[in-house]
Structure 1
Amino acid sequence: MTHIWQKPILIENNTFRFRGVNYTIIKEIDSWVEAGAWWQGEPILKFLLVKTEPYGLFEIALTPKGQSILYQSYD
Structure 2
Amino acid sequence: MSKLLDLPVIIEDDHMPMVFFWRGHRYNIIEITDQWWDTGRWWQNEPEKFFIRAATSDNSVVELYQQKDKWMLYKIYD
TM-score, normalised by the number of residues in structure 1: 0.89
Matched, 1:71 2:74: yes
After TM superposition, which residue ranges in structure 1, 4 or more long, deviate above 3 angstroms? none
Q: CA deviation at 1:39?
A: 1.1
Counterpart residue identity of residue 29, structure 1:
T
Aligned length: 74
| Structure 2 runs not aligned, ≥5 long | none
Corresponding residue for residue 11 of structure 2? 11
Counterpart residue identity of residue 6, structure 1:
D
| Structure 1 runs not aligned, ≥5 long | none
Identity of aligned residues (%): 35
Corresponding residue for residue 26 of structure 1? 30
Give, in whole Å, the separation in 2 of the partners of 1:44 and 1:58: 19
Q: CA deviation at 1:44?
A: 0.5
Of 20, 40, 43, which residue of structure 1 is paired with 2:44?
40
TM-score, normalised by the number of residues in structure 2: 0.86
Counterpart residue identity of residue 71, structure 2:
S
RMSD: 1.2
